[in-house]
Structures are given as C-alpha cells and as structure tokens.
Structure 1
Amino acid sequence: MRIIVIGAVAAGTSAAAKARRSDESAEITIYEKDEFISYSGCGMPYFIGGEIDNPEKLTPRDPAFFKSKYNIDVLTKHEVLYLNGENKTVKVRNLVTGEEFEDCYDKLVLATGAYSVKPPIEGMDKNNTFSLRNITDMYRIKEYLEESAPSKATIVGSGFIGLELCESFKALGLEVAVVEMLDQVTPGLDEDMAGYVEDHLSENGVEVHTGTSVKEITKEGVILSSGKKIASQMIILATGVRPNTKLAKEAGIHLGDSGGIKVDKKMETNIKDIYACGDCIEHYHVITKKPIYRPLGSTANKTGRIAGENITGGNLEFRGILGTGIFRVFDLAVGQTGLSEKEAKSMGYDVEISHNIKPSRPEYMGGKEIVIKAIADRKTGRVLGVQVIGEDGVDKRVDVFATAITFGAKAEDLFHLDLAYAPPYSTTKDPVMYSGMILDNAISKGRKLLTATQVDALINSGDEYVIIDARVEGQYQKHHIPTAVNIPHNELRERLGEVDKEKIAVTYCNKGVTGNAAQNILICNGFEKVYSVSGGHKTYKRYMEKKKK
C-alpha cells in the first residue's frame, strides 16, 4: 500500500508515524512545502523572548529522523499542486528545482494546516510587519529584532499568540501596545474574566486598546480607526488563522459550516480513501455535537493519530473536543474548557453561573488566588464550561474540569471527586469541589446566585429589594455596592427585623463565602427571595470599573 501525506507538522507526521506502527510494509511519503517539519509552534514566542535559547529544541526532528526511525520519506520544499481523487494521483512541484512530477497513492492524508489571517490594512506589506505561524516567521521576527533593534511594538489581536508575544517583547525591553477590535481582550473568554487579563497586561506596562482596529500602518507606527496614532517600529498581526483548504476544495472535497474540511469520526472525507486531520479540518463539540473550528496543537496530534490508525485498517473514532486551552501572560495563567457563558446562552441553555475565588493551596504554603468561573445547565445540572485565571494551579484545575465535562459530570458530581490533597498542592476542599458545591447549591438547594450584571439590572429595575453588605464596617465604608446597607455577618441574626421579608434580598461579602453564609441565615429564617452575589464585591467592583471605561 502506498500512503501519501500532505503536510509535515503536527498532524501529518503523527498520521504517518501511526500508520507505520500499524503497517510495516506500507510505502509512506510526506510532502511538505516548507523547510521545517514536526516543530513546536506553540514554543515560538518563548524563543523570540529569549526563554528558549536554542531554536533547534523546537525542531528536534528532520527528514533523516523520520527515515531512520520510521522508514518514512519526508520531502520538504515540495508543494502538492493538485490531487485527483478519481485516479488517485497528485501533482507535485519541487520548489528548489522547479521540477513537476506526478505521484500516486492508495490512501491519502491532507494535513495542510492553517494560514494567518491578514486583515485589509493599508501599508501591511511593509518589512516591519509580521505574522507568526511557522518557524520561518519566527526566524524573520528574531532577525528583525536583532538587526533593527526596535524599541516599540504593536500587536494587532489579543488571542493566545498575541498575548504570549506581549510577554516576550517586554522581556526584551520593548514598549508594547495591543490593539483588539472587540471590546475586550482574549476573545474566547467572557467579558468578566477577560477583565482580569486586561488589568494584568496594564499592570505589566502593556498599552491596551480595545474596541478599535488598525486602519493604516505607516513608517512611524499605526493609525487606529479612532484616529489615534501609536508609535511603533514593529507590527505583529495576530488576528487568528483560517483552515488551509484550497487543495481540498479544488479536488471536490466537502467543507463544513466552519470552513474547515468536513470529515467523519474516522477522519475520512467525502472522497473515498482521502482523509484529513489537524488545523485544516472542522471539529465537533463534545457538548453541543455541533461543528466548530478550534485549531490547537493537541487536537492536531490527536486527529493525526486517528487518521493514521484508520488508513491502515483500524477503527479509531474521534470523540469531539471542548476547545480546552491555556496560555501564560507574564505570571498569569489563563485557561478555559467547554462553553463560555456567552456561547451557552446563544445556544439556548438556561445557565447558572458561579464565580469562585479561592487560593490554589493554603496561603501558609504560598498559595495564590485563582478565579474560577463555572457555567452549568439549570435544567440538567450538567457542567457546560469553565474559565480559570491565576498564577498557580490553573492547569491542574482546567484539566480536572475538562475530564469531568467530557464524561458528562453534573455540578453535584464535582464535590464527590476524590482529588489529591496535601498542603503543598491544594486545599482540603479543592477549588474544583467548591465550584461544584456553589453551582449545586444554586441549582437544587435554593441558594440562588446573581452575577454582577444581574445585580446592576436589579438596581435599575424598579423592583423592591434590599442589598446586604455582610462585611465589616470598614470594608463597607471603603467601597460598596450602590444602595447596599451594611449588616455584618456576625450581627445579622440579631438584626433580622431590619430586613423586609417581602423584598428581594441580596447578600454579598468580598469574594462570596460570607455572603453565602448570610444568605443561609435569611433562608433559614423564612426569607424566600434571597440571592447571593456570585464572586462577591470583588467581582461586582471589577464589572462596574469595566462598565465605566
């Protein structure tokens, strides 16, 4: 059997290696139009910033490696011009010699990846403007930094790559500005969680511009759609990627609603014996079962393995993704999995939202505060998605949530997880368990929550309500929710007569724990319409500060 793979980065090499492990006799050839193969694209910002000193650590495998270990022929600088699924042939051009030739296959795998989106900006063809998609891009950026020694950089876009480069450029001593077309940074997060990231960027000296776009790139820098000018000697376009489907489309291969190549669970396209994997394909969501496009290295490797298994007679099926991701910006880790609040609501879910602010481990062991926003379906109790931000222990929590959500966990199930505990690693009741308790209390035990947005709406609704600040007087005097009355938690039982049982009652503290305790006191004393502010005063204050900007 002759196998041809088009593309030699994560998915393509994974497919070829798995095919070889399953079939020792197959002839396997990979065509790759670039010079570099099987590289760690996610590590590129850290080489640019100097955290990785040797670029070869990102490109540990070359064609000779694949030939010696797997008996796979990898031909770089070879571009497949078109493929014919009917007679099973491809036309290839050697980009070094210009020679063109035809090859044939029994099974073919498309792993053509994705390309950087370049928005229509006037002047974007200047030699100080870059995208970062592959190793060649990385070297061009590094070379420009060393030869031109820019002092200021503007990054257009605030996704993973854009924000990771913020840290890299600041480490090199550059002044950095970020421009984001949306009203928030990190488009994948909900607005309330994105605020933490934006604040952290500002605290680390990054100039953040949201709700605007770059209209023009000049010799002096960039001009925004608002007319504001930002001085820059270097511009990075980090405005996302799109699936590279030109070859597939011309061959009659169907594309999905998201624009990626449409494949079945075995990675096969609509044309028999042609498979696809990696960043060029459309995925489907574990929860919604609907198609989505989420290009990530982990998913590329996974889908590559599935394709390699099945082209050699296997029966491995793709089970979907949650879009789990994590990135670091300075000393802050930002992770997410599943649906955001915005996505869940757009799909018709009646959601319960909790904001859980806890230390990653005991403070006496150096624990750092982490913020967990969890979204659950009120109807079924199923956890739909989670966003976690903090300096310590974020990756662990995101992975636990991703596992739980994958297997359909309900909010109540999170409390029953038998998680590892010792003071250097966690609190006795892990923040994951707390999030489950908060959500389950709200869904099934009458301990209802209000988000900051809902509190703001209540204040302006005209309904009769009372907001109880359960903190000590000094904290209340420093700052409190408008119209709130101060009844400290330790005085609430004696002062119940001051609270009208007919009104909607809302309780809060700094982060949520004492506010919930005050809520319990009211409920146990016959109050029926009682809510606690999700995430407490800290979350509400952040919401109001963002609203005023």
Structure 2
Amino acid sequence: MRVVVIGYGTAGQTAASFAKKFDENAEVIVIERHSYPIYHPCSLPMVLSGKFSLDELYERKPWPGVEVITGAEAKEIDKERRIVKYEKNGTYNEIEYDSLVLAMGLKPTFPPVKGMDLEGVGTVWDIESVKNLKIGDKVAVVGGSATGIEVSAELSKTGRKVYLFEMMEQLMPGKVDPPISSLVAKKLTEMGVEVRVKSPLREILGKDRVEGIDVGERIDVDSVIVVTGAKPNSDLARKSGIEVGETGGVKVNERMETSVKGIFAAGDVAEVRDLITGLPTTTGLASTALVQGKVAGCNAVGGNEVYKGALSPFIVTLGDYQFGGVGLTSSQAERLGIRHETMRIMASDLPKYNKERDRVVLWAVVGEDGRLLGAQIFGKREVRGRLMFLTLAIEMGLRVQDIRKIPIPYHPDICDVNDPISMLSDVFHLIHKS
C-alpha cells in the first residue's frame, strides 16, 4: 500500500509517521515544497532576538521509512487515476497513491496597500522569509495576532524601537476577551513596545525602501514586518474537485476523510467541527494539527480513528509571562447567541510568603447549565498546565462546580495550595448554590 502525503508540517509529519507506525509495510512518500524536510515555524519569532538560530530549527532526518521529496510542489490530483502530479526543478512528475493525505497548511494573507514591495518590508512565515528580513532600528509590526505579539516582544529585547499596530479594538481579536487582551497590551508596553489598536495599515511610505507607514498618521520607521493573517492553502484541493467548506478549509468528516474516498486532510488546511458549537472551523495550531495528523495517518492505512472536534488550545509567550486560551471566548458566545456568564479570578501564583510570587488571572466563560465553555489565562507560571486541565474539563463536559472537588497537585515552589481553578469553581458554586 502506498500513502502519499502533501506537505510536511506538523500534520504531514504526524500523518506520515503514524501511517508507517500502524502499517510498517506501507510505502509512505511525502511531497514537500520546501528544500528541507522539517522545520519549526512556531520558533521563528525567537530567532529575531537571537534565542535560536535558523540552523537550529531544521531537522534533516524524516521519520524512518518515510521518503520525503523536497523542493517539490504538488500541482494536480487526478482522483480517478489516483495520481498526484508535482513539479521539481522544472520537471513534472507523477506518483500513484492508494491513500492521499492533504497537509498543505496555511498561506499568508497581506493587506492590499501601496508599498508592500519596498525594501525593508517582510514577514515571519518560514525559514526563507526570516532569512530575507532586513530589520532596522525602528520597526513596525503590523498585526496583533499571536505571531505579531511574539515578534514584537522578541524584537523589544534587541533594543530596537518597536511599534505594534492592530486594526481592531484589541490585540488577539476573536481569540481572547478584552480583560486578557488589556493585560497583554500592558505587558508589551512595559517591555518597550508601543501598542496601537484601531490603527489599520493604509500605506507603507518610501521610494525604494521603507521610510514610514500611514496608520491614520505618519509614523517614521525603517522596516515593516507584516503578520496580518493566513488562510487555508486549499487551492490544490479546490482545483482537483475536492470539496472546500465555508471557512476555506478542505471539508472532512470525523475520520478526517474528504469528500473523495481515500483522500484525507489534516492540520491547518482542514475544515473540522468545533467541539462546543458544532460549527465548521479551521484551527491554525500545531497542537490540533498533531492530533488530526494522527487520525488521518492511521485511517489512511485502514484504521478507524475518530476526531471529535476542535477546542483549539493555544499559548503565547511574552517575555517572562505567558497567556493562552481554549474553547469559546465571551465575544464569540455573544455573537453566536449562546447564553453564558463570565467569571474572573485574580490570585497569587505562589504562596503569599514566597517573595517570588506574582499574580495569575483566570477568565472563564460558563454556559447556562454550568458547563465550562472556554477559558483564558495570563500569568508567569503554570499557564500551560492550567490550560491543559481546562481543555480536558471542557472536552469531558464538566460543570464548573464539578471541578471544585478535583484535587490539584500542590508544592509551594510551584503553586499555592488553593489553585485559581479551584478558587473559580468555589466562587461559582457559592454564587449559584441557591
């Protein structure tokens, strides 16, 4: 049996390796457009501060038994003949498959403004884009996404003057609610980043290279990094007659199988079901791409794995702090007409006698029946661990008051005995006791 995987990001790597794990006799071949087999895009912002070098982000050895054809771009899928046509070094080739996994990921989107072609304008997307960056002393980062925030934070460590511009009213719109977003903006400001919201990019100014930007006023900068968004890289699927959904992602069922039998999709290119709302969604997260890749890879060699739906947990670093979220935000719930309430807990992350203690903020979105629908956390310690706990709680359909009797590991060097999650549950229980 031959499994062909298009794309070797997180979803493609996982699908290929799990296909080989579950059927060691399967022939697994990957078509990857980059000239290198594996890299880690989530670490690219840290390259800008010198924490990592680009060379450290490469992994040159694919999974044992998996053949990776690098520098190759898939151009067409012939569903009837079960053939993928791809181009490498100007030569067109064909490869037959028994099962096919689409893992082409996302492609960046840029605002249609004048000046995008000036020297000094770049993005942080892949190894090549970071290599091509020409960063001066005054940098405008356009886009208040997770990438924009991390790029700004990392550049601030280098002593440069950094501006962060977001067209919406808050950073991370649609991903976190205003109370958490305001904490993020405040921390960035403390790090020396000048944060401007409600500031859409109108034009990049300059003759041959960047001299400034227009965001309703002129700001003089000598370089611009644009990280304004991305969309599923689904053009190949659409052109090949594979159904693409309303989000722009390739439609899949719970087995990660597309509208064409024997063709699967996983990761950022796939349109899946939101676990809470049941609505179609795309995730754009390595964590969900990993899980989807496991399901697609196993099923590509005859398995019957099921992907229940996306909760999309994420975490972002911000100097010594982190923030993240999972599930629905309050703004999403309101837009969808889902009746809910919100709760906010601010607590110490270590015992009060510990001089290193700091505050952690937990924001929860709770449904009418008391079920946890979403949560966001900002703090210095244990953000990831708490998000993992809350992700599991949402997936299991737990009510907030159910959480109060679950013991949470304690050590005074790591956390306080009464964890903020337990405190939130206790407060909710007392409010709704009657």
TM-score, normalised relative to structure 1? 0.76
- State the one-letter code of the partner of 1:117: T
Q: Which runs of 5+ in 2 are unaligned?
A: none
Asked if 1:92 corresponds to 2:86, the answer is: yes
Question: Which residue matches 2:39?
Answer: 39
Using the TM superposition, give the Cα deviation of residue 425 of structure 1 relative to its aligned residue in structure 2, in angstroms. Answer: 1.9
Question: Which residue matches 2:359?
Answer: 369
Asked if 1:285 corresponds to 2:285, the answer is: no
Residue 76 (structure 2) aligned to one of 76, 82, 85? 82
- State the one-letter code of the partner of 2:422: M
Residue 436 (structure 1) aligned to one of 411, 425, 434? 425
Q: Structure 2: how far apart are the matches of 1:344 and 1:82?
A: 40
Asked if 1:314 corresponds to 2:314, the answer is: no
Asked if 1 retains the 8 angstrom alpha-carbon contact of 2:213 and 2:221, the reply is no
Q: Structure 1: how far apart are the matches of 2:215 and 2:164?
A: 14
Using the TM superposition, give the Cα deviation of residue 364 of structure 1 relative to its aligned residue in structure 2, in angstroms. Answer: 2.0
Question: Which residue matches 1:458?
Answer: none
Question: Which residue matches 1:159?
Answer: 145
SS of 1:214's equivalent? coil
Within a 5 Å distance, the mapping from 1:437-456 to structure 2 comes to 437-442=426-431, 444-445=432-433
Task: Spell out, residue by residue over 1:342-365, the C-alpha distance to the aligned partner (whole angstroms, 9 max, x if none).
Answer: 111222222221110101121322
The percentage of aligned residue pairs carrying the same residue is 31
Question: Which residue matches 2:102?
Answer: 110
Q: Structure 1: how far apart are the matches of 2:169 and 2:320?
A: 24
Task: Spell out, residue by residue over 1:119-153, the C-alpha distance to the aligned partner (whole angstroms, 9 max, x if none).
Answer: 10111012311121212112222xx24xxxx1010
Aligned residues: 429
Q: Structure 2: how far apart are the matches of 1:214 and 1:109?
A: 37
Asked if 1 retains the 8 angstrom alpha-carbon contact of 2:234 and 2:250, the reply is yes
Asked if 2 retains the 8 angstrom alpha-carbon contact of 1:353 and 1:439, the reply is no
RMSD across aligned C-alpha pairs, in angstroms? 1.4
Q: Structure 2: how far apart are the matches of 1:85 and 1:441?
A: 59
Question: Which residue matches 2:261?
Answer: 272
Task: Spell out, residue by residue over 1:421-454, the C-alpha distance to the aligned partner (whole angstroms, 9 max, x if none).
Answer: 1211222221100111222223x225xxxxxxxx
Q: Structure 2: how far apart are the matches of 1:405 and 1:2?
A: 38
Question: Which residue matches 2:229?
Answer: 240
- State the one-letter code of the partner of 1:82: E
Asked if 2 retains the 8 angstrom alpha-carbon contact of 1:221 and 1:229, the reply is no
Asked if 1:201 corresponds to 2:200, the answer is: no
* Distance change in 2, residues 1:350/1:440 (3 Å): farther
Question: Which residue matches 2:11?
Answer: 11
Within a 5 Å distance, the mapping from 1:381-460 to structure 2 comes to 381-442=370-431, 444-445=432-433
Asked if 1 retains the 8 angstrom alpha-carbon contact of 2:101 and 2:266, the reply is yes
Q: Structure 1: how far apart are the matches of 2:366 and 2:338?
A: 9
Using the TM superposition, give the Cα deviation of residue 189 of structure 1 relative to its aligned residue in structure 2, in angstroms. Answer: 1.1
Residue 122 (structure 2) aligned to one of 130, 141, 158? 130
- State the one-letter code of the partner of 2:69: L
Q: Counting helix residues as a fraction of each chain, which structure ranks higher?
A: 1
Q: Structure 2: how far apart are the matches of 1:129 and 1:441?
A: 54
Question: Which residue matches 1:57?
Answer: 56
- State the one-letter code of the partner of 2:155: F
Asked if 1 retains the 8 angstrom alpha-carbon contact of 2:253 and 2:272, the reply is no
Using the TM superposition, give the Cα deviation of residue 83 of structure 1 relative to its aligned residue in structure 2, in angstroms. Answer: 0.8
Within a 5 Å distance, the mapping from 1:133-212 to structure 2 comes to 133-141=125-133, 144-145=134-135, 150-187=136-173, 188-212=175-199
Q: Structure 1: how far apart are the matches of 2:93 and 2:419?
A: 60
Q: Structure 1: how far apart are the matches of 2:139 and 2:213?
A: 13
Asked if 1 retains the 8 angstrom alpha-carbon contact of 2:140 and 2:223, the reply is yes
Compare CA radii of gyration and give the structure with the larger one: 1
- State the one-letter code of the partner of 1:11: A
Asked if 1 retains the 8 angstrom alpha-carbon contact of 2:267 and 2:284, the reply is yes
Asked if 2 retains the 8 angstrom alpha-carbon contact of 1:10 and 1:39, the reply is no
Asked if 1:305 corresponds to 2:282, the answer is: no
Using the TM superposition, give the Cα deviation of residue 411 of structure 1 relative to its aligned residue in structure 2, in angstroms. Answer: 1.1
Q: Structure 1: how far apart are the matches of 2:381 and 2:214?
A: 36
- State the one-letter code of the partner of 2:150: E
Question: Which residue matches 2:111?
Answer: 119
Question: Which residue matches 1:459?
Answer: none
Asked if 2 retains the 8 angstrom alpha-carbon contact of 1:411 and 1:436, the reply is yes
- State the one-letter code of the partner of 1:159: S
Using the TM superposition, give the Cα deviation of residue 225 of structure 1 relative to its aligned residue in structure 2, in angstroms. Answer: 4.2
Asked if 1 retains the 8 angstrom alpha-carbon contact of 2:120 and 2:224, the reply is yes
Q: Structure 2: how far apart are the matches of 1:333 and 1:128?
A: 30
Using the TM superposition, give the Cα deviation of residue 156 of structure 1 relative to its aligned residue in structure 2, in angstroms. Answer: 0.5
- State the one-letter code of the partner of 1:114: L
Q: Structure 1: how far apart are the matches of 2:112 and 2:97?
A: 39
Question: Which residue matches 2:2?
Answer: 2
Using the TM superposition, give the Cα deviation of residue 331 of structure 1 relative to its aligned residue in structure 2, in angstroms. Answer: 2.1
Q: Structure 1: how far apart are the matches of 2:79 and 2:280?
A: 25
Task: Spell out, residue by residue over 1:405-427, the C-alpha distance to the aligned partner (whole angstroms, 9 max, x if none).
Answer: 11111010121111101211222
Q: Structure 1: how far apart are the matches of 2:211 and 2:394?
A: 45
- State the one-letter code of the partner of 2:202: K
Q: Structure 2: how far apart are the matches of 1:359 and 1:315?
A: 45
Using the TM superposition, give the Cα deviation of residue 37 of structure 1 relative to its aligned residue in structure 2, in angstroms. Answer: 2.7
Q: Structure 2: how far apart are the matches of 1:293 and 1:23?
A: 29
Q: Structure 1: how far apart are the matches of 2:172 and 2:319?
A: 15
Task: Spell out, residue by residue over 1:220-246, the C-alpha distance to the aligned partner (whole angstroms, 9 max, x if none).
Answer: 5443342x1111111111111100001
Task: Spell out, residue by residue over 1:27-73, the C-alpha distance to the aligned partner (whole angstroms, 9 max, x if none).
Answer: 22111111133221111111221112x4333112x2xx23xx52222
* More RCO (CA 8 Å, sep 6+): 2
Asked if 2 retains the 8 angstrom alpha-carbon contact of 1:214 and 1:222, the reply is no
TM-score, normalised relative to structure 2? 0.96
SS of 1:200's equivalent? helix
Asked if 2 retains the 8 angstrom alpha-carbon contact of 1:367 and 1:392, the reply is no
